[in-house]
Structures are given as structure tokens and as C-alpha cells.
Structure 1
Amino acid sequence: MILSFFDQFASPSLLGIPLVFLATLFPALLLPTPDNRWISNRLSTLQSWLLLSVTKQLMIPLDKKGHKWALILMSLLTLLLTINLLGLLPYTFTPTTQLSMNMALAFPLWLATLLTGLRNQPSASLAHLLPEGTPTPLIPALILIETTSLLIRPLALGVRLTANLTAGHLLIQLISTATTVLSFTMPAVSLLTLTVLLLLTILEVAVALIQAYVFVLLLSLYLQENI
């Protein structure tokens, strides 16, 4: 059976049962859970400090009405971080390389921010579709352009996360295959490709962290416009 490089993005299954749900929830089991003691261990303390620092960073641009979203945004950030990082391990599956999952995360949250703005301040939300001082002949075209840019936001969120992770996984697959093939014929070149592979893996760890943060940061910015 001949496999292609894109088979790593196929949804895994066992006895015909999809394992995407398991691949999505399993990384959360690796997080340390707080115990009942007054003094937590170092890992739990570090986790709490990181979550608190990132929460403060995300909530700074928002007013008190937006602070209600802190739990949702931080839960989403934790989910994306664990899935992206665990997907870099060999023989694992990364659910966030699937556009369907990313859109399932992006579209409802974007729609929630939009409906929040339409409910709380409908005039201000609709005013974003037409910049102040626009010449009268350009009003229909600008409304159409702004509406399109508004509706394309969830697609941009999902495609950005999918494309970055898919490209990184493909590069790692290609370079690792070249390293294995060249190890018998040209060891010196194989050593060079192995060095590139290690550097690319470090870069992909950074990409996994940054893309998860950017996904949540953009949602918080969309929320800022609508509260």
C-alpha cells in the first residue's frame, strides 16, 4: 500500500470508529490538576501563573463587560495549545489541521461576538460598516466591502490556523523522509538535513504556541469592537 504525505492528516479511526474526539480530549488529561492542599506543587503553580498572566494580557483591552469571556477564551487557548503541541509528537494526530474543526471553533465564537454587539449597541455595530465622512457615491460599495470583510473573519481564523499547522507538518515530514533516505547514501548531507529538521521542529513548537494565541487574541479583538 502506497501512502502519501497527506495521509497524516486523515482522520484516524479504529474498527470504523473515528478517534478525533479522543484526540481532542486526551491532551487535557495531561494537564496537572490542583489538589486540596494549601500549597500547590511547582507544576500547578507554574500553570496557574501562566494562565493568570495570559488572562490579564487578553483582558487589558476589554472593559468589565468583556471580562465575562475570560473563561471561554482561556479554555479555548488551553485546548488549542495542548492539541497543537501534542500533535508534534510522532504517531499522533493533530485535530487542528482539519479546517472543519477550526471553523467549528471560529464561527460560533465570532457569531457570538457579533450578536453581542448587535444586542448591546446596534447603532455602533452597524456604524462599522460605513466609515464616517464617506462620499455618497461610494456608500453602496463600501457597505458591501465592509460586510464582506466582516463575514470573512471566521474563515480567515480557521484557514490561518489550518494552513500554518499543515505547512509545518508537511515540511517536517518531507525533511525527515529526506534524512532517512540520505542516511545510507550521503551521510554528510543527511546530517545537514537532520540539523535543519531539529531547527524546524523548534520553529514548529513556536508556531503551535503563537497560532493558538493569535486565534484567541483575534477573537478578543472582535469582542472589543462589539462591547
Structure 2
Amino acid sequence: MARLLHIESSPRKTRSASLEVAQAFVETYRQAHPNASIDTLDLWQTPLPEFDGAALDAKYAGLSGAPLTEAQREAWDAIRALARPLHEADTLLLSVPLWNFSIPYKLKHFIDAVSQKDVLFSFDDTGFGGLLRGKRAVVVYARGLDYSAQSITPAERFDFQKPFIEAWLRFVGIDDVETVIVEKTLFGSEVDAAARREACATAEALARIRP
């Protein structure tokens, strides 16, 4: 059975452009693939562990091959549990608003916590290897302004949202990445509505392709 995991990173549930477009993907995916499992990881409702103390000590113990203490093992088990849904899913759907030219701090916290050796990547004398190989990712990016190469402003140079997410996905082994961008959401109601409609249509088309 195919499994879809939607990772929500916007706290703005009723007006979020990224969430609206992602939900269009989810609804179409549900209709197109009725036997698939769909799960949601709302990062604003999920306790995210602090990566300090025992967790940080566990990281460096693991890197050096030292045995973990009980406290370190408990901290590392929490990290593995947080990452488990990523391993269990076949498709990852990320809805990502632009915050200060980058991503919401909750999403950055999640990525920092789970991006660990033998959790999402391997490391040996040959280099790094992602542990999420063979998965598909669909990423919905929402921006208030026009960050495209065709923009008449220099906004494209300040886009640290899409490059960061796609570099992280490649690092953990996901090369099959599809993108939906909804932008100009601050340009007024008509422009905002048109941008959302276009992005929803793109998301719905991607949802029909395969489970």
C-alpha cells in the first residue's frame, strides 16, 4: 500500500497558501489512489526535541563508535521516532511558506533534529549517502512576492527557501522532486486568488500521476 506523508510547516491554517495548495494535492491524491494511506505531520502540533545535552552527546558518541548511556539512548530513540514517518512514506508532500527569505523555524528545527548519521544519512570513508532513496517528494512553496528569474526586482537572489529544501532532499537521498510554487500572494485579492488557482491545478495534476 502506497503511503503519503504531508509535512505542514505553516501555522496559518485558514489563510495559508502553501496549505491550501497542498490540501488540493491531498484531496486529488485520495480520489486517484483510494487504497493509499495518507498521514499528516503538523510541525506546529508535534513536540520537537531540543538537540542539546544527551541528544548532542549521543550524536558524537555515535560518530566515534562509543556506547550510549541510558540518557543518550533515550534521546536518540526520540530522534529516530521523529524520523520514522519519513522512512515509512513513499511520497513526501511538504508545504513550505517563505519566512524571511527562508523556511519557518519549526521546519528548520525538524530538519536539524532528524538529519543525523544512520537516521537519514550514512557516512563512511567513501562519503555521504542518503537513506531515503527511492522516494518521491512534492514541495509546495508559497511566497508573497515574485521570486522568479523573470521578476523585475532582485528578489530571486534572496530565495533561500527552495534551494535549501531541495539541497536537503538530495542530501537524504531523494532525487525525484517535483515543485509547485504559489507566489505574488501579497499582490491583492485577484492576483492572490489566480495564483492559488493555478498552483492548485498544478498540484492536482501531480497528484494523479502515481501513488
If the length of structure 1 is used for normalisation, what is the TM-score? Answer: 0.24
- Structure in which a larger fraction of residues adopt helix: 1
If the length of structure 2 is used for normalisation, what is the TM-score? Answer: 0.25
Bigger radius of gyration among the two: 1
